[in-house]
Amino acid sequence: MAAPGIAAAMPVMDPSPGAARTGGVAGAAPATPFARPSSPSTAAPERRWTPPLGRALDVVGPYRAPPHRYGAGHRGIDLAAHPGEIVVAPVAGTVSFSGVVVDRPVLSLRVDRDTVVSLEPVRSALAAGDAVSAGETVGIVAASGHCDADCVHLGVRVAGEYANPLRYFRYRPVLLPWDG
């Protein structure tokens, strides 16, 4: 038992149907707010993002932060996908890049002044400057990528630093005061 004055962590419950079966990541984002962290480089959204493949997240490659800025790591998550699947915008934003990087098509959306979401390999007809809404179709999974075309890589940068994308799809705990 915690001492008086120590905050207890309690999860925010997901009221959407099916949330208990899927860990709270199924379907469109409800309007339940997150608690905001104090650091702007780790700020979480007020609402959960929409899964980019239109179904509960199936993470086949987890986020692994590098030990330092230029170190090896996996700066995003890989979601199980197949070429030709429709990809939707996980959050509203403006296209900041749509084109090929090295050998794969990439789509990047600027969410706000600090946050950019990138999806690859995603072939899109959108162009830089196009506005998109959360859940709007933005492209299709292409037949190339670092998962041998079996995934979509989703990366998030906040203030130039990579962040774990799962924080935007799952509820964060809210600290409540200890009542004794």
Over the stretch 40-67, which tens digit does the pLDDT of each residue have? 444 544 578 999 999 999 999 999 988 8
Contact (Cβ atoms closer than 8 angstroms) between residue 100 and residue 106: yes
CA dihedral 163, 20, 137, 152 (to 10 degrees): 50
pLDDT tens digit sequence for 24-37: 333 333 333 333 33
Domain containing 32: what range?
8-176
Cα(154)–Cα(118) distance, rounded to whole angstroms?
6
Task: Give the model confidence (pLDDT) of 121-175 as tens digits.
Answer: 999 999 999 999 999 999 999 998 777 778 999 999 999 999 999 999 876 556 6
Please tell me the total count of domains within the chain.
Answer: 1
For residue 149, give the CATH number of its domain: 2.70.70.10
- The answer, as to whether pTM is greater than 0.75, is no
DSSP letter at 20? H
Amino acid at position 108, single letter: S
Q: Is residue 80 part of a domain?
A: yes
- CA dist list (Å): 118 to 75, 80, 102, 106: 11, 16, 15, 7
pLDDT value at residue 73: 85
